[in-house]
Amino acid sequence: MSDSSDHKFEQMGFETRSVHAGVDIDSTFNSCTTPIYPSSTFYWEDLKTNKGFDYTRSGNPTRRAMEDNIASLEGGLSCRATSTGMSAVTTIMHMFQPGDHIITGHDIYGGTYRLFDDIFTKIGLKFSFVDMSDPANVQAAVTDATKAIWIETPSNPLMRLVDIAAVVKIANSHDLLTIADNTFLSPYLQRPLELGVDIVMHSTTKYLNGHSDVVGGCIVTNSEEHAEKVDYLVNALGLGNSPFDAWLVLRGVKTLGPRMEAHQKGAMAVARFLESHPQVDHVYYPGLESHPQHELAKQQQSGFGAMLSFEVKGEKSDTERVCTQTNLFLLAESLGGVESLICAPDCMTHLSMEESARRAAGITTQTIRLSIGIENPDDLIADLKQALEA
Ligand SMILES: *Cc1c(COP(=O)(O)O)cnc(C)c1O
């Protein structure tokens, strides 16, 4: 069921595949970009023959173009696009049975934590939330019921890394499935399948679309067996991405490489500025030499990304002051768009976690998270400087 049909691009560079993979498949008018096919249904020529699509819940030509593009970028066999990142997580969780145990991080995305800790725990799945920055904690959590390890690296918002190869090794020795949420870095900066992970998922809402105008998700698989399972589940659960949204993601992904370069150039400049500022206690950014896993970041990533957090000195009112005094940085949740965002995880993105879970994950009232856009880094630094000193 391999549907990454763009073999002619397979040997080409990442940026070339971003622009071309999956895209030029329209022969009706020779359009250079992929048409949007909003059609819910596709007519048959006889009782055996259609053109590969019959109903948009099961498959759609616009969505398939985007899926083939992302499969190529992640180095996977197949991709299925879902309505949101959370529906990608939901789909993957339906690969398990009540009683199955899954090991994951204690500082994973708040929505994923809620889905695991509340919804899927209620229907009988079991989870261990451990500090995955030390692989020994993963090893120690394995039981006879363990079926999978859910990896998210770097973590949100404190940018802890998981050593992907080390966790894959543990998984292989116990015959466990590995799944990686690769949203924070995108396939331009990290490709977990190449490190032995079985399944990669994304919130395409973030860097893959990159323009803060879509919610979507995707699941990339690397074996026929997993590809068929995911294809079946997305159709059966009815969680496919809409053709319009898939078209926007496909358009966004064409500039993924140049955008990530601009994003991380700004992030490094902002991180160095914050590290030297007297109002700032600590900066969490894997690109800084002071990050405890800087060497691991250099090893398993091809860049440091554009998400960073810091602790502002003082009290909660200082956090609020900095978050509300910026002009360029918009006070908003989400990440990965061309515009820079600022937020306070303790009362925004991570509110779906209990306070005790937030503290256990290291989130304080002083934690501020930044998603660095592609604006001029000097302007971003000037904006943060005036907010910190207001
Ligand atoms: C945003 C996000 C999700 C959820 O994606 P939605 O598109 O908001 O449903 C999952 N994981 C990570 C790391 C995210 O940043």
CA of 34 to the centre of ligand 1 (A): 26
C-beta of residue 89 within 8 angstroms of C-beta of residue 232: no
CA of 84 to the centre of ligand 1 (A): 8
Domain membership flag for residue 42: yes
Per-residue b/e over 310-323, b at no fewer than 16 CB within 10 Å?
bbbeeeeebbeebb
Give residue 354's pLDDT.
87
Domain boundary among 218, 253, 288: 253
Domain count across the chain = 2
- The residue whose CA is least distant from atom 9 of ligand 1 is 85
Residue 275's H or E segment, with its range, is helix 256-275
How would you class 156 by CB atoms within 10 Å of its CB: exposed for 0-12, middle for 13-18, buried for 19 or more? buried
pLDDT tops 80 at residue 78 = yes
Nearest-Å Rg of the Cα atoms of the chain is 21
Q: State if residue 350 touches ligand 1 by the CB under 6 angstroms criterion.
A: no
Q: State if residue 206 touches ligand 1 by the CB under 6 angstroms criterion.
A: yes
Measured distance CA(167)–CA(132) in Å, rounded: 9
Residues 195 and 214 in one domain: yes
Domain membership flag for residue 2: no
pLDDT tops 80 at residue 2 = no
Measured distance CA(328)–CA(380) in Å, rounded: 7
Active site residues: 57, 109, 181, 206
Domain that holds residue 298: 257-388
C-beta of residue 288 within 8 angstroms of C-beta of residue 275: yes
CATH of the domain at 311: 3.90.1150.10
Give residue 349's pLDDT.
87
Residues 243 and 263 in one domain: no
CB-CB neighbours of 13 under 10 Å? 9
pLDDT tops 90 at residue 107 = no
Max intra-chain CA distance, the chain: 73
Domain boundary among 203, 231, 253: 253
Which DSSP state fits 85? H
Residues 85 and 230 in one domain: yes
Give residue 7's pLDDT.
65
> 3-state class of 14 per DSSP?
helix
Measured distance CA(379)–CA(181) in Å, rounded: 31
pLDDT grade for 118, boundaries at 50, 70 and 90: very high
User: In the predicted model, what is the mean pLDDT of residues 97-126?
Assistant: 95
Q: State if residue 109 touches ligand 1 by the CB under 6 angstroms criterion.
A: yes
How much of the chain, in percent, has pLDDT values that exceed 70?
98
Taking the model in full, what pTM does it have? 0.96
CA of 200 to the centre of ligand 1 (A): 13
CA of 109 to the centre of ligand 1 (A): 7
Q: State if residue 203 touches ligand 1 by the CB under 6 angstroms criterion.
A: yes
Across 99-113, 227-241, 374-388, least confident range: 99-113
Residues 46-66: pLDDT tens digits?
999 999 999 999 999 999 999
Mean pLDDT score of the chain, rounded to an integer? 95
Residues 183 and 34 in one domain: yes
Return the ligand 1 atom nearest residue 336 CA: 15
CA of 217 to the centre of ligand 1 (A): 8
Give residue 3's pLDDT.
43
Domain boundary among 253, 273, 296: 253
Residues 129-168: pLDDT tens digits?
999 999 999 999 999 999 999 999 999 899 999 999 999 9
Give residue 353's pLDDT.
81
Give residue 6's pLDDT.
53
Residues 4-63: pLDDT tens digits?
455 678 889 999 999 999 986 678 888 999 999 999 999 999 999 999 999 999 999 999
Strands lying side by side in the sheet with 367-371: 280-284, 307-312, 367-371, 341-343, 330-331
Contacts of 356 (CB under 8 A, 6+ apart): none
Q: Which of 203, 215, 219, 371 to mutate for ligand 1's pocket (most ligand atoms within 8 Å of CB)?
A: 203
- Listing DSSP states for 298-335 in one string gives HHH-SS--SEEEEEESS-HHHHHHHHHH-SSSEE-S--
Domain membership flag for residue 1: no
- The residue whose CA is least distant from atom 2 of ligand 1 is 203
